[in-house]
Amino acid sequence: MPRIPLEDNFTDIIGKAQRGLQLTDDALAAKAGVSLDELKAVKGGEIRDHVLRLLAKALQLERNALLALARREWYPEQPLFPRGFAMFNTVHEDMTVNAYLVWDTKTGQAAAFDTGADAQPILDTIAAEKLRLRYIFLTHTHDDHVADLPKLASTGAEVWASELEPAPHPGARTFQENAHFHLGELSIKTLFTWGHSPGQTSFYITGLSWPLAIVGDSLFSGSMGGGIVSYDAQYRNNRTKLFKLPQDTVFACGHGPLTTLKQEKKHNPFFARSA
């Protein structure tokens, strides 16, 4: 797997926080105590440390984490899964999107999480590992995450999504929060981490080398999903659910690289201070 760039740069993070807090440029500049020209320069990609520190405070972001991302001083260390886990990064229009596969090595039962733009790599892995795909779980139903659902569902696997955001597929089933699924020794628990979409769901999985949370667009390494439905709800659900998981939990995000709870508590500008 090639090194996947972080989903958001520092200007993306500033923009998400500004939109979420519903601040105009005038209001943000006044709150931060910077000029409109300084704000424009930073939003245009200039790294001005003093301005970034002031903007971080006004936007409730952790300033050192924001500065480190702006300077490109940090990239998450990648956790290793010797077996039972695979990540797929496929191109969708002008971006890339992640999908995942987990399986129980004893029984060969597997579950896919989203499809990405092209499910063929997932199907190839299933064939190579001699697996049986039992479940297809959707973190949410935005096009980039379900683009190849018909092909993946043609395996006969059960398709599941949140009751708050049903899957666009005939015969798909819905789950409530805190539903439990099992694949041999693997346990999968649903967490409603909505805000980016109405039914955005994270899946907490135990039984692999590390505790794993497949979080879709709830959270990105160094950032979080845009609060399209509710910024406040997305932030709150991340903080009260994802950031309360065990310290060694790996986050498998909908875009960008893998990360860990421990790293995000230190390096994510949205959560470093409040975690």
So where are the chain's domains?
Answer: 10-70, 85-267
What parts of the chain have a pLDDT lower than 70?
1, 274-275
**What distance in Å separates the CA atoms of residue 138 and residue 136, rounded to the nearest whole number?**
7
Identify whether the C-beta of residue 166 lies closer than 8 Å to the C-beta of residue 175: no
Amino acid at 230: S
Closest CA to 102 of 88, 92, 89, 90: 88
Identify whether the C-beta of residue 206 lies closer than 8 Å to the C-beta of residue 214: no
CATH of the domain spanning 85-267, picked from 3.40.50.720, 3.40.640.10, 3.60.15.10, 3.40.50.360: 3.60.15.10
- Would you state the structure tokens that stand for residue 232, as one six-digit string? 């406040």
Res 273: pLDDT: 75
Instruction: Tell me yes or no: is domain 10-70 CATH 1.10.260.40.
Output: yes
SS3 category, 90 = strand
**Taking CA 259 as the corner, what is the angle to CA 43 and CA 104, rounded to the nearest 5 degrees?**
145
- In angstroms, the Cα distances linking 9 to 25, 109, 220, 264, 266 are 19, 38, 11, 15, 17
Q: Taking the CA atoms of the chain, what radius of gyration do you get in angstroms?
A: 19
Which pLDDT tens digit goes with each residue over 71-112?
Answer: 999 999 999 999 999 999 999 988 999 999 999 999 999 999
pTM over the 0.95 mark: yes
Res 120: pLDDT: 98
